[in-house]
Amino acid sequence: MIERTVELLVDEGGLSIEELASACAVTCEWIERHVQGGLLEIDRSVGMRFTSVQLLRARRLADIERTFDANDELAALVVDLIEEVERLRGRR
């Protein structure tokens, strides 16, 4: 899989659903579906916005779904495993 490199600074206020959708090249409905399914979280401490961690997760979900034509749950499982490997390696 070819990684896309996109620089995006997420300020303390986080990203709105529209900004997150744009950054991931998905629709707002895609974001809403993944939030409702528990695959993405909204940071309620910054007023129902998304953090840079959720931006990375959303990008990974979208890339896996597109690249492998994976359903939401399978893509989330793969992303969970990637995040766990990173955590174990001390990257996060």
Buried (b) or exposed (e) across 17-56, using 16+ Cβ within 10 A? beebbebbebeeebbeebbeeebbebbeeeeebbbeebbb
The angle formed by the CA atoms of residues 1, 73 and 21, to the nearest 5 degrees, is 65
Q: Which two tokens stand for residue 44?
A: 């309620």
The whole-chain average pLDDT of the chain stands at 87
Query: And the tokens for 21?
Result: 């959708």
Reading the block at residue 34, the tokens are 């993944």
| CA 51 – CA 15 distance, rounded (Å) | 6
Residue pLDDT, tens place only, 41-57: 998 877 789 998 999 99
Quote the pLDDT of residue 3. 37
pLDDT surpasses 60 at 35 = yes
Q: How many CB atoms lie within 10 A of CB 86?
A: 12
* Window from 1-10, 34-43, 58-67, 68-77 with minimum mean pLDDT: 1-10
- pTM for this structure? 0.84
